[in-house]
Amino acid sequence: MTKVQLALVIDLNVCVGCHACVTSCKEWNTSGWAGPLADQNPYGADPTGVFFNRVQTYECGTYPNTETIHFPKSCLHCEEPPCVPVCPTGASYKREEDGIVLVDYDKCIGCKYCSWSCPYGAREFDPIQGVMKKCTLCVDRIYDKTLPEDRRKPACVLACPTSARIFGDINDPDSEAAKAIRDAGGFQLMPEWGTNPANHYLPRRKTTMTLHKDELVRADNPLKIEGELPRPKFNAPSIDDLSSW
């Protein structure tokens, strides 16, 4: 049995781009013991702020043959995280027990070097606290015994109205996450860098239905024409034995 690797599996076929995960993530993580996710100039003309999760939108093809892809993006908790070895202080680390990549805010000196070593732009620097921040997979709630068991999930997963986000141990073949990756063609982002991201995405799927020609008209209509049936003869058999008219 391999090590536990917690991760998110995000179904791009289901995501509707509502940003519920973005706001619930911000809400949960700005209210925790680790201090707020700072916003600067939030109501001004040029706001900035720290988010762990962003939903982006892409379009494929040319009008009218286009397809819209809503694409949530957060730290992918890479199994070979390039951001970890470059950190001079050891503030960035990958947990042995569950594979979550974390930043120790008490050790981080704010040199930003780790953010240069993430190809996904997953890390966001907090200029107020002066430390690097990123998705923690809600490490402060998934193990919280005071919560009912079905609520011990990342805030984004609980918030998603379409259940596009699946949370689980991708190394456990029986987990919902591992099954989804296996059965629905889960893939990793930018495999060319060898980061081996733990988070996976499920591809967009075409939903099609084949209609045969005879299904378009009433099969029991002898004339294959929609409309009034011809009037029967006056003396054709009828229910009251008087007349079919």
Binding ligand SF4 (rule: CB under 6 A), the pick from 18, 82, 172, 204 is 82
Out of 3, 16, 27, 116, name the contact with other proteins by CB under 8 A.
Answer: 116
Give the one entry of other proteins, ligand SF4, none that residue 54 binds, where binding means its C-beta sits below a cut-off of 5 to 8 angstroms depending on kind: other proteins
- Cβ(243)–Cβ(233) below 8 Å: no
214 interacts with, out of ligand SF4, other proteins, none, CB within 5 to 8 A per kind: none
CA–CA dist 143, 130 (Å, integer): 27
Pick the stretch among 112-120, 135-143, 151-159, 213-221 that binds other proteins (CB under 8 A). 112-120
Distance CA(106)–CA(34), nearest Å, equals 10
* Residues contacting 221, CB < 8 A, separation 6+: none
Beta strands in the chain (DSSP E): 6-11, 39-40, 48-49, 53-60, 67-74, 92-94, 101-103, 124-126, 131-133, 165-169, 200-202
Residue 81 CA to residue 93 CA, distance in Å, equals 9
Tell me the chain's radius of gyration from C-alpha atoms: 28
Closer CB to other proteins, residue 27 or residue 67? 67
To the nearest whole angstrom, how small is the minimum distance from the Cβ of residue 118 to other proteins?
7
Residue 173 binds other proteins (CB under 8 A): no
Residues forming the site for ligand SF4 (CB under 6 A): 75-78, 81-83, 87, 89, 91-92, 101, 103, 108-114, 118, 120, 122-123, 132, 134, 195
Residues forming the site for other proteins (CB under 8 A): 19, 22, 46-51, 54-62, 67-69, 71, 73, 82, 85-91, 107-113, 115-121, 123-125, 127, 129-131, 187-193, 201, 203-204
